[in-house]
């Protein structure tokens, strides 16, 4: 029942995740954060089996931070997505593969551009202008196809996200307890009051 959305804009990336943590038909928490900050300018949103998601996200976060400490160099969002894809692909060949779908958004401080990568549990990695996992993909993809433009600024991106939320609230039979929205830009990662 998770909602994971990402929109790449001209100057930032917007990542939105549902606040509800569910198990079956029960809502366990109404303030869950399904994201992990991987570096100063990159963020990972995840969905999937509850144990796998947290364990995998913390594993990726720890390895990215370890690389940053050892090399004194922040990995680009593309490099982080490549590392994450490699870890998902390796786990697929193990006895207990991770059942995790991921969005990685970030701002490349060297190239001065935004990045949004869509990864699934099979190790597929693709860079997209907008992406969704979970039930959000069923209801918002056509809306994003229709209204997305490459030159959107932050305010216009948040308005597009509001259209997506309205569609989700109308169509989804479950209350996902609202969205936690984070923006990644040149200044880093910040939470937006949405």
- Could you give all domains of the chain from N- to C-terminal order, each with its CATH number? 3-192 (3.60.20.10)
Nearest to residue 180, comparing CAs of 8, 52, 35?
35
Beta 26-29 vs 21-23: how paired, if at all?
antiparallel
| Residue 27: predicted pLDDT | 74
Across 19-28, 53-62, 166-175, least confident range: 19-28
Q: 77-86, 116-125, 174-183: which range is least confident on average?
A: 174-183
> Whole-prediction pTM value?
0.92
Residues facing 1 on adjacent strands = none
24 vs 69, higher pLDDT: 69
- Decide if pLDDT at 154 tops 70: yes
**CB–CB of 128/120 below 8 Å?**
no
Express each pLDDT in 85-139 by its tens digit. Answer: 999 999 999 988 999 999 999 999 999 999 999 999 999 999 999 999 988 898 8
Instruction: Name the residue among 167, 126, 121 with its Cα closest to residue 144.
Output: 167
Residue 176: per-residue pLDDT? 80
Residue 25 above 80 pLDDT? no
Which of 18-32, 35-49, 151-165 comes out lowest in average pLDDT? Answer: 18-32
What is the predicted pLDDT for the residue at 1? Answer: 67
Q: How far apart are CA 33 and CA 51, in angstroms?
A: 14
Average the pLDDT over 143-161 and give the result.
Answer: 94
More reliable by pLDDT, 51 or 141: 141
Give the mean pLDDT of the chain.
92
Which position has the token pair 């993809």? 141
Cα distance between residue 44 and residue 46, in whole Å: 6
φ/ψ (deg, to 5) at 50: -55, -45
């Amino acid at each position: 029942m998770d909602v994971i959305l990402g929109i790449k804009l001209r100057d930032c990336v917007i990542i939105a995740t549902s606040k509800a943590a569910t198990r079956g038909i029960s809502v366990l928490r109404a303030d869950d954060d399904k994201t992990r900050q991987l570096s100063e300018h990159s963020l990972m949103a995840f969905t999937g089996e509850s144990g796998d998601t947290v364990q995998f996200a913390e594993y990726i976060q720890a390895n990215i931070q370890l690389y940053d400490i050892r090399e004194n160099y922040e990995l680009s969002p593309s490099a982080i997505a490549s590392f994450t894809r490699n870890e998902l692909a390796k786990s697929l060949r193990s006895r207990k593969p991770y059942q995790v779908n991921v969005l990685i958004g970030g701002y490349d401080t060297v190239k001065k551009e935004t990045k949004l990568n869509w990864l699934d549990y099979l190790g597929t990695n693709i860079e997209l202008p907008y992406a969704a996992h979970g039930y959000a993909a069923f209801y918002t993809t056509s809306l994003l196809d229709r209204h997305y433009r490459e030159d959107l600024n932050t305010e216009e991106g948040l308005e597009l996200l509001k259209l997506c939320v309205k569609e989700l609230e109308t169509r989804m039979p479950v209350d996902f307890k609202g969205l936690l929205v984070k923006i990644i830009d040149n200044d880093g990662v910040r939470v937006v009051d949405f």
